[in-house]
Chain A
Amino acid sequence: MNTKFSREPAKAALLRRYTIGALLMIAPSFASAEIAVIVNVNNKDKITMEDVQKTYLAKTKTFPGGGKIVALDQTEGSTSRVEFVSKVVKKDEAQMKAYWSRLIFTGKGVPPKVMDSDEAVLEAVIGNPSAIGFIEADAVTDKVRVIGTI
């Protein structure tokens, strides 16, 4: 009996330690950057975050208005990409890679073109009416249309 009672507080303490540990692990994502999904200013389509998710999983290749999508990606491991993949595509980068390997090696899709910075994405979206991309929200200018921030 005694041992049973004495174990409970120890368990609770352990649980508390785990909870704090888990919170500490989660904490960096609270501090992380907001990501804006952007398209060309001339693109007037109503595009939801679900449409964006489907685009980056090759489940859709056209905008709701029918125009062909040119999706832009960023370098693996970059802040923008890590955030975008987790918040919008709802996968981590390893899962994203395994998912795309299935599309590449079955000929079902070609991955979005990889740009090496937010600036490069911004530039490309300004110059291409079919483009869609993601950048850190701070980097947004009025030369692009923001379809959502997350």
Chain B
Amino acid sequence: MAKHTAKEPIDPRLDDSTIDENIPWPNVNRDMIRVLNTNTWMYYGGLAFFVTMVLISAAIFYNMTTRGLGLLGENNAVFWGLDIPAFIFWIGLSHAGTFLSAVLFYARSNWRRSIYRYAELMTLFSLLNVFMILTIHLGRPWRFWFGMPVPFNGRFLWPSYRSPLAWDLIAITTYTTGSALFLYLGMVPDFAGLRDHVGGWRNKVFKVASLGWRGTDKEWKFLVQAYSLIGAMIIPLMASVHSLVAWDFVNTMVPGFHNTMFAPFFVAGALYSGIAGVIMLVIPIRRMFHLEDYIRISHFDKLGRLMLLLAFVWVYFQSIEAWGAWYKQDSFETFAFLAKAIGPWAPWYWFMIAVCGVMPMALFSRKVRTNLPVMLGGSILINIGMFIERFLIIVPGESITHLPSTWKYYVPTVHEVFIYIILPLSLFGTLFMLSLKIVPHLSLYEIKEILTVPMRPAVETPEAIPKSRAHDIKAEIEVDSETELFSDVDDIIDEKKEEGEEDG
């Protein structure tokens, strides 16, 4: 176990630093290797739980595939059920990675350095879930390749590029590829750092993954160039992906969907749930691997502030949605909203408002932002609320269409809950737990950059001191020599004398 050089203060309100700058550089390497080698019952217990849940959910999915879609609660009106809410939820969760790594990279926010790798991993695994959900949602998952926007494929199916669904597929493919490459690029020097000091099978993996990295000036130059370029490109991509997802709905005439504010609404909601997702991940990992030196209380304070800001944006969009339902004077639109506010979905709607709109106001208090159990619980509730939000965007709109004779209520079945909620969650948990043993979760070089660089202490020679400063220094020396310096020596002599008398 590595020695912790930085202790958390008793009152975190007194500490605003994100990391102790005096942590020696070798400690960063050692702590990362320690995370790779730490095997606790919590880790294996968690991994076993997630793997079990994946297997159970996969069995239920197989059951649905062989017996038919009739096992789902979907009907002629509500044909997107839990599939698309889950799809939007996981896309949303993926946005925090880009925000924390790329946006804060350009904002020169040093506090991101300890946590952004978790956010990027969350992005990648969330996007893998998105692909899985989309494939399952097809109904015949073995024909997923029919969705590929490739013409001349002998299927007599020409992709319609006018459809936002085709844009969606290309945007998500781009975002997944970009997120994976962005994550990998930042890890190349870290893989080299681990390659040099880790043995066994991991050494072989790290050797390949580090691309022969040696840390030369040219390598750093190319890395910084590539990282900055990809970072600059992935930010607009992030906004475009969820905007395109929003346009899937906006371009229809379904009540509740046809709304011009959906694109920014979706992006803001995505960032909101994504930040909550990062908090949910980082708090247990920090505890499990004793990463208190790198992930400080002040990180959660800053994440809390960010979440509060996004909560306000979210509340604004919710208010605009309610106001728009009245202002449009479209009876179906109004009815779709009323079904949420005072109709059959009212308990879910008000629970969502309570946990995503009202509860985050507690984040005004620094005591709340620096209380980790409260932050963890709050983040879980916010993400539950955000899942419900996506559900309430899709299902009431589909239920209450322009043809009242087709109106139908929707209740998900156990099959749907397992396939669209438990399977992605447990798959995400499994991938994340496995990544803890393969991927450097702390960016070694980015953390070292904000630590004190090893420097030989400066020796000031008279020639090196500018004339203006030389006068000041001379005056300081005179003051010291006359008063404080000799008074200190006198005190020390007195103390020594007293000690000698006591010793006899």
Q: Does A associate with B in a complex?
A: no
